[in-house]
Amino acid sequence: MSDTCVTVSCREWISTVTIDNQPDNYFDKDILAEMNKTVSEVHAGQADLRVVLFTAKGRNFSAGIDYASLAKMNKEEAGHFAEVGYSLLKHIEALPVPVIAAVKGETTGAGLGLALAADIRIASSDAVFSFPEARFGVPPIFGSSQRLYKTVGVGRAKELLFTGRTVDADEALRIGLVNSVVPPDALDEEAERLAVRIGGNS
């Protein structure tokens, strides 16, 4: 899995899935496919699994997809790419255990879409969020727009999608995009503490 910049570590009843495609942690088709495989295998391989935690190496959770690379795809390639990403987010939502996303830095586009597929989002205070697709003339992919409006409401979701503007961590907390905000150096510790607290319930 390290070849495609995705790793999974399991400790007791918590599985941590880590993205490591620095600096922006972009998703390409190989990473999406490996994450699909990882998410599918995480629950099957752990009968006592209670929590899944998504994290990322480096300063950014994920800036989503590289739009320059997307523009070079033909229609069939772009369609397949979108299907793989859509399938990944559906797999995350279908996990029968709580899913936490620990987000930081750039958490935008498909990266934000992945975070929205989680049940709980804990953000570092340096995190910024946006769906920049409007600036590139493409729609949000992977079903992200539906997850956004279910999280922050239709009116707020439309405004964010139509403008493509950036939301900082404090505003994200205020509008319900994230559940909590912590200092950057405390993100990993707080996310693990939350996972342990949730997993420790009967």
* Tens digit of each residue's pLDDT (9 = 90 or more) over 41-73: 876 666 788 999 999 999 999 999 887 787 788
The span from the CA of 188 to the CA of 182, in Å, is 10
What is the rounded average pLDDT for all residues in the chain? Answer: 91
pLDDT for residue 94 is more than 70: yes
pTM for the structure as a whole: 0.92
Predicted local confidence at residue 2, as pLDDT: 41
pLDDT for residue 1 is more than 50: no
Q: Provide the pLDDT confidence category of residue 3 given band limits of 50, 70 and 90.
A: low
